[in-house]
Structure 1
């Protein structure tokens, strides 16, 4: 089996701090290799080391060979697009927001593949059609769902025919159907090339098959075939990662009867001319957990924004049984980096919040302990902490205001299973303790079944064609 990428004793370090311990591996033609591990385990640093895109503050030691040729950073960069390509975890950061999808793919054919303009355009259309996106050729990335944007990124990454693909958390934040579609695209790559996938999703690793390497804190814990590692894990951490999947969570204790908070009657909402849902009615009490389930684009986030008063209902009524101040009705966002400024430290952001709402600074320390957060994180900016840490800091910021109504919009979809379980169960516990009504939005129905008192499946409130 021919090795397309070989790493020999590769390490990544920041000054004297070794972030990735000496690691050797090979990516073979026709055999997927998946690196599985939690946020902050060093997986993405390894991908950046291979591509030659590590930040200037980090250094790599060891040897990276492509097609069995040891290459330095400059030589590896010369192979971008032609021999090796990277599929990023955030497609919107890789795609030009003001360039139509077809043009983004055609430019790869033209400038990397040296095709003429007309030929590049035709090839781009064929490439998009191959991934089921012929209808979006003239659309901008922000007009697409997460799964569609990732498929555009895949089309661009493979346009110049690179036989090696590195996919860094390619299904992060996607619902099950979108995730499975991306996995099938990735598996097709192994028919003629090599695939290195970095993920915290155990189901993705299982679907890809091939070989798995499990990493934690920059160290390799175990490796082997996907079947062997996932069915008979040897490392305690691997077992914990597998057992942190929602189907293994204990069921939460049901809420006891509490004071009614709001009643929703016959609610309907649109997005432009599209009807998202109609005829939605439910009641919610203090300390109760309501789950909202559905695929991407079905209106879950829109429902949350409507309940928060950020959008007016298309029709129907929302009646509050208790008057709430604006600061008591809050939202926890799916993408924590988008809700924090990176211009100042997190500590400065929290001080501004305390000052604005006349809160005591002494409230921060107990929440840091509850959320298992190091106080030193307050001296960093949002870009210098992991996704799991930043989402817990977002929860800390929210709980400082003692909300009575909280919409948590896919708060764990971008987190590894262990961190996702910890965050979700912590959310539920804090909601119960502080008598806060919690609307938990998720595309994972099993997760909702484990922690919610009631669940709304939005597909039950979508318009269906009447059969003749």
Structure 2
């Protein structure tokens, strides 16, 4: 380890590569970030964006090998010398990970997890740290959720909680992995404002995102990754306005804002009917008594701010939760397992200790689906079969979401509740996945309920929308 001149800035990466065995997952990555500068990594799912952040942290899975040099605040280490960078965690270097449920301790309430940062990193007394934690969570719109456990939060709320904990350390080098997925426009913009305040305070930011609007709002530089290599690199304004590489142009053209509306489906008889259903969580009513009917073939978008009960509504219709009032009736004669859910957090929907191949084969056997049909679906979704040898934690969030989509379609659902199903996918893969999802539901006449914060995606896909609103006093 050695000190470099201050000209290297806060974070510099020189010729970083990551290999598994003899195969390169990422190679030839170099950049520098000075105080006040941002860099966004964009590109296809599985291109190595999250691996790059893990390599900088010194937190790569054991089977992977890094090479190159990494400089943090003037201190240079070899990329493979992970232990030397771990000593910087929290104080100099922080990572907001892609999956909030993995980052949070499920056995501890949210507020104490944040208070620990103020106690351990800043030496604040416990009472003072607890008060500060309450204040920061309130600023993140989580004032009513400070006593909740992580599993009691919606996906967007958990995302904001992890962001508050990550930022509390005050590390000058901040890396964020898909920080705005699952957030409505209000909280997406607020999150971008928070990151910009880190830059104004003299920090630097490395942002991994599939949202080009977020990259443009952050400003600074951009690197476009494909197949583990940088195919384009430069100022975000110039790259977005005049992309030079064909893949970058593909990314820009695949933005949902540019999608043409999908053809309207044929609808049939009601699949599910709900009368007077409502659900309350603690002191907050998530949704007031409502009547709802979903017909076969329908495509319904469910929208509303984080924490307003979108996922809960789906769980009630699927029979995973009972309504507090009212009743839910399914169509007669449906096969078992024909009400299916595609989860917002794909990690939580797979058994962690068995291979992805085993999970898919178990689903195929349960639903009497030919394995060759599963293979064809994986091929459509551009999932290499070699990935299935791995466990869920060993693939990217985007790759896991595509595998989850392939698995849920094995069941040939009559009603598919898809909870932010493309939020972890790059625009190109997102467009392909939605085509596959809509084609599959059209073939079988399945009804689709789609939770999304993306107005453009909802406009292109849905035949009607259900809007849920936040109660002002709920703090969400």
Do both share a fold (TM > 0.5)?
Answer: yes
Query: Is the contact between residue 10 and residue 21 of structure 1 (CA under 8 Å) also seen in structure 2?
Result: yes
Distance 1:151 1:388, change over 3 A: closer
1:97 matches 2:136: no
Partner of 1:57: 63
CA positional deviation for 1:83: 1.9
1:14 matches 2:20: yes
CA positional deviation for 1:208: 0.7
Query: Is the contact between residue 2 and residue 29 of structure 1 (CA under 8 Å) also seen in structure 2?
Result: no
Bigger shift: 362-371 or 22-31?
362-371
Q: Return the TM-score normalized by structure 2.
A: 0.87
Distance 1:190 1:404, change over 3 A: same
* Larger Rg over CA atoms: 1
CA positional deviation for 1:402: 2.3
- CA shift digits 1:340-369 (9 cap, x unpaired): 113222332333334444554454344344
Distance 1:377 1:49, change over 3 A: closer
For residues 276 and 98 of structure 1, what CA distance do their matches in structure 2 show? 24
Q: Return the TM-score normalized by structure 1.
A: 0.88
For residues 266 and 144 of structure 2, what CA distance do their matches in structure 1 show? 50
Partner of 1:407: 417
SS in 2 for 1:75: helix
SS in 1 for 2:10: strand
Query: Is the contact between residue 272 and residue 317 of structure 2 (CA under 8 Å) also seen in structure 1?
Result: no
Alignment match of 1:205 (pick from 204, 211, 215): 215
For residues 254 and 172 of structure 2, what CA distance do their matches in structure 1 show? 34
1:421 matches 2:436: no
Q: How many residues align?
A: 463
Partner of 2:173: 164
SS in 1 for 2:230: strand
Distance 1:105 1:267, change over 3 A: closer
Alignment match of 2:91 (pick from 82, 85, 94): 82
Root-mean-square deviation (CA, aligned residues, Å) is 2.9
For residues 316 and 127 of structure 1, what CA distance do their matches in structure 2 show? 38
CA positional deviation for 1:120: 4.8
Query: Is the contact between residue 425 and residue 451 of structure 1 (CA under 8 Å) also seen in structure 2?
Result: no
For residues 140 and 262 of structure 1, what CA distance do their matches in structure 2 show? 32
Query: Is the contact between residue 350 and residue 397 of structure 1 (CA under 8 Å) also seen in structure 2?
Result: yes
Bigger shift: 445-454 or 355-364?
355-364
SS in 2 for 1:326: coil
For residues 272 and 348 of structure 2, what CA distance do their matches in structure 1 show? 29
For residues 123 and 154 of structure 1, what CA distance do their matches in structure 2 show? 15
Bigger shift: 315-324 or 417-426?
315-324
Partner of 1:44: 50
For residues 408 and 134 of structure 1, what CA distance do their matches in structure 2 show? 28
Partner of 1:142: 151
Which consecutive aligned stretches of 4+ in structure 1 deviate over 6 angstroms post-superposition? 462-465
Bigger shift: 179-188 or 340-349?
340-349
Instruction: Give ranges in structure 1 of 5+ residues lacking alignment.
Output: none
SS in 2 for 1:327: coil
Bigger shift: 3-12 or 366-375?
366-375
